[in-house]
Structure 1
C-alpha cells in the first residue's frame, strides 16, 4: 500500500530526530569514554600492564557500562523482543570497535614508536573516534532495531466506493481491506 506525503516525515524531521539520537549517543558514549580512559590509565600506571592489554581491559569494562546506557536510556523504546540476539550483536559490533581502537593504538605504539603515556592516550583518542562512528551506525542499524511504524486504518473518506469492475479499482479496494484486517489483528494482539 502506498504511503502519502503527509504520513512520511520530512527530511528536516528525520534530521531533527537523528540529532537528538546523536546527542544521547554522545552522552552515553562520553560516560563510556571516561570509564575507558580511567581504567586504561590505572592499568598502565597502577598495574604496569602493556598498553594493548590495558586498552582491551578498559574497553571491555566500558562496553558493559555503555550497553546499560544504550538499552535502558537511549534505545529503551526500540524492539527488545530478542535480548539474546541484541546482546550478541552488541558484543560483536563492540568487539569490532575494540579491534579498530586497539589497532590504531598498536599502530601508534609498535609501528610509529609513539610509546609515552600521553602519546598512547592520543592514539587512543583517534582510535576511539573512528570506532565510535562505526559503533553508532552499527548499533542503530542492526543492534537496537526500531519498532515498525504503526499502520493507521483508512478513514471513511479514504475508502473508495465499491468498484464496478476495473482491475485497478478492485486491487486498490482489496489492498485497503487487507490493511484494515492487519490493523484489526494487530490491535487484538
Structure 2
C-alpha cells in the first residue's frame, strides 16, 4: 500500500500541474469565477489522474472502464466538495492567499482520494 500511495502522490503531483494550469487559465485569462475555475481545473486533473492511476499506480485491468471511471469521478466530486469548502474557509474566512489555500486543500483531498479509490475502486 505504501508504494501505491507514493505512486498515487506522483500522479497527483502531475494532476496539480493540470489542476493549477487549468484553474489559472480559467480564472485569470477567461475571467471565470474562481470557484468555478477551481472546479474545472479539479475535474480535468481528476480525468488525467484516473488514467494514470488505473495503468501505473494500481495496474488495474477491470474491463468495466466506464463504471470504474464514474466511481473515480464520484469519489473525485466528493473530494471537490471537500476541496472547495477548504479553499473557501481558508481564503474567504481566514484571508489566506487563494493559491496557498488551494495547495493545502489539495493535500487534504489527496488522502480522501487515495483511500476511497484503494478500498472501493481499484
TM-score by length of 2: 0.90
Matched, 1:85 2:74: no
Q: Distance in 2 between matches of 1:64 and 1:132?
A: 15
Residues paired across the two proteins, number: 122
Whose RCO is larger (CA < 8 A, sep 6+)?
Answer: 2
Q: Unpaired runs of 5+ in structure 2?
A: none
Aligned-pair RMSD on alpha carbons? 1.5
Aligned partner of 1:52 in structure 2 is 35
CA distance in 2, matches of 1:89, 1:27: 21
1:41-78 deviation digits (Å, cap 9, x = unpaired): 112211122210110010011011101101121112x3
Q: TM-score with structure 1 length normalisation?
A: 0.60
Distance in 2 of aligned mates of 1:19 and 1:110: 35
Separation of aligned partners in 1, 2:55 and 2:70:
17
Q: What residue number does 1:95 align with? A: 77
Structure that is richer in helix per residue: 2
Correspondence for 1:125 among 103, 110, 114:
103
Question: Which sections of structure 1, spanning at least 5 residues, go unmatched?
Answer: 1-17, 145-189
Which one of the candidate residues 11, 14, 21 is aligned to 1:38? 21
